[in-house]
Amino acid sequence: MKLRIEGNSLRLRVTQKEVAQLRHGGCVESFVELAPAGPLFYRLESSLDVTAVTASFDGHVVRVAVPAAAMTEWAESDQIGIEGRPQTGVQVLIEKDFQCLHRRREQDADAYPHPLRS
User: What is the model's pLDDT at position 110?
Assistant: 63
What the chain holds in terms of domains, given with CATH numbers, is: 2-107 (3.30.1360)
* pTM recorded for the entire structure: 0.82
Query: Mean pLDDT across the chain, nearest whole number?
Result: 87
Banded model confidence at residue 111, pLDDT cuts 50, 70, 90: low
- Please state, in angstroms and as integers, the Cα–Cα distance from residue 35 to each residue in 4, 32, 39, following that order: 19, 9, 7
d(CA 92, CA 114): 22
